[in-house]
Structure 1
Amino acid sequence: MTSIDHSLLERRIYSVPRAAGLLGLSSRQLRSWMMPQRRVVNGISREIAPIWRPTIDDPREDASVSFLDLMELKIIRAMIENGRIKRPKIRACIKGWRNLTQGMPHYLVNKKFAPRLIPTSLAVEIKDEGVLVDAATQQCLMAEVIQPELIDLDYGSSDLPHSWIPKGWENEITVSPLLSFGEPVISKELIPTSALALAVEADGVEAAAMQFHVPLQIARLAAGFELSLVKKQRKQA
C-alpha cells in the first residue's frame, strides 16, 4: 500500500452492529459508550457524557463509524476490560487528553500522541466533574493498556493506522478501509471472510473452496474467524 487515500480512513463504513461484532461486543455495549446516559444522583436526574464520541458527532441510534473510529473504540474496549481503572476516571482521561492534544485527529491511535512515548509533558493531573486522575494512573493506562493495543495496527509512514491485523490472526486476516470496504479479508487472497464463511455455511468447506478458488484451509480459516467473532459477541450479550 504505497499510496493511501486517507479520506477512506475517515469514511463511515461500519454500522454499530458490525463495529460491535468486529470488537467482540454487543451493539448495546458499544452504543452505551457513544451515547449520553442518564443517572439519578441524590434524587436528581443527570446526563452523563459518553465515554467516547466519534469524530463526526452523531447522536442517532443507527450512527455509523469510520475505520479510525473503530480503532479508537478498540482502545476504549481495552481500557474498560482492563478493570483496574473505573469508568469515571477513563472518561476523565479521554476528555482531558482530548483537551491536551488540542484537536489532534484520532489522538488515541495517533503516533504523535502520548501512548508512543509517554512524555512528561502529559504527566499532569486531570480533573473533571469531581474526578481526579493523577499522572501515575494516566501513565499506567498508556503503558499497560493503550500501547499493547497499537501493536497490531499498521501505520506505514503515516501518523494514523491504515490496517488492523487482529491478534491471533497474524499474517492471516486484515481489516482495512482500503480493502473490500473495510470488511475483514484473507490477507493473501484478499477475499472477504464473511463471504467465504457464508459459502462454507451454505455449501460446505469443499464447495466453498472450489467456488472461491482457494485451498480448503483458507475456507476453514474464514469460517473460523467469523465464528470467533460470533462467540465473543455471545459472551458479551
Structure 2
Amino acid sequence: MGSYTAPEAARLLRTSPLNVNRWLGGYIYRRSGEERRIQPLWPTQHADIQEHLEIGFRDLIELRFVKAFLDAGVGLLAVRNCLEYARECAKDDRPFSTRRFQTDGRTIFLESIERTSEPKLLDLKKRQYVFKQVIEKTFKDLDIQDDTVARWRPFNGKQSIIIDPDRAFGQPIASQFGVPTVALAEAVEVEGSAEDVARLYDVPVAVVRDAVHFEDGLKRVA
C-alpha cells in the first residue's frame, strides 16, 4: 500500500509536514480559554503505527486532492463535507481516489454543499467551476485500476517517472527500470553528467534528466 512519513508525503505533495500532520493527525487549539480538538480527515492506512504518522499511497492521493481544493480556494469545511458525502456515494473510505469521484465529483460536491446548513458561505457557481477544473487536472496524471487510483505519474504526467505502491514502497522511480529518482539525481551530482549516470545504471539519458528535473522541482518547493 506504500508507506510515507509526514515529511516524505509533504515533499511529494509540495506542502509542509505540518499540514500533513494536521490533516491526518488532527490538532488541538484553544479558543476563549477552551481547548478544542479537530479530528483527522480520516484514519490512515497505517493507523496501527503509533510512534509517528505513517500514511499509505491512497492516503497520499486523497491528500493531493485536499491540497488542490484548498489551493483553489475551497475551504477545509467544504472539503470535509464533500469527503463525508463522497464516502457514501463511492462506498469507499477514500473516495477522492476512486473512479466514481472522477466521473461524478462535481455533482457529489454540489450535493454535499446542499446538505450543509450554511450553503451561502460558498459562491456555488464559482466553486462548481473550480471543483470541475481541479478534478480534471488532478486525474490527468493518475492511472485507475479496479475503480481506484493505482499509480501516479508525478512529473508532468510523463510515463518516465511513476509512484506505484507495489514498487519500491511507493517511492518515485524510473518506471521501466525501477531505479529511484533520488538515486539517479544524486548520482548525477557525484558523476557530473546525466550521460555517465545513464551508462552506470543502464537507463536512457532522457529518463535520467527527467529524474533530475523532478527532484530539483521538489527541492525548490521545499
Fold in common (TM above 0.5): yes
Report TM bin, short chain.
0.7 to 0.9
CA–CA distance in 2 between the matches of 1:51 and 1:145? 19
Gaps in structure 1 of 5+ consecutive residues: 1-10
CA–CA distance in 2 between the matches of 1:198 and 1:149? 28
Matched, 1:32 2:32: no
Equivalent of residue 158 in structure 2, options 170, 176, 180: 170
CA RMSD of aligned residues (A): 3.0
CA–CA distance in 2 between the matches of 1:89 and 1:33? 14
Q: Is the alpha carbon distance of 1:71 and 1:204 closer, same or farther for their aligned partners in structure 2, counting shifts above 3 Å?
A: same
Matched, 1:193 2:175: no
- Report the CA distance between 1:150 and its aligned residue: 1.5
Per the normalisation by structure 1, the TM-score is 0.77
- Report the CA distance between 1:182 and its aligned residue: 1.5
The superposition leaves residues 27-84 of structure 1 with CA deviations (integer Å, 9 ceiling, x where unpaired) of 122112112222333332211223444245468562211111111111111011112x
Partner SS for 2:99:
coil
Contact 1:92 1:131 in 2 (8 A): no
Q: Matched residues, percent identical? A: 28
Contact 1:209 1:216 in 2 (8 A): yes
For 2:68, the aligned partner's letter is: A
Contact 1:14 1:65 in 2 (8 A): yes
Matched, 1:216 2:208: no
Equivalent of residue 192 in structure 2, options 170, 193, 204: 204
For 2:183, the aligned partner's letter is: A
- Identify the structure with the greater helix proportion: 2
* Aligned length, in residue pairs: 217
Contact 2:144 2:151 in 1 (8 A): yes
Higher deviation after alignment, 131-140 or 210-219: 131-140
Equivalent of residue 103 in structure 2, options 103, 116, 120: 116
The superposition leaves residues 118-161 of structure 1 with CA deviations (integer Å, 9 ceiling, x where unpaired) of 4579725233xx755779477456423234212211114x1012
Per the normalisation by structure 2, the TM-score is 0.81
Gaps in structure 2 of 5+ consecutive residues: none
Q: In the alignment, which residue of structure 2 is the partner of 1:44?
A: 34
Q: In the alignment, which residue of structure 1 is the partner of 2:56?
A: 66
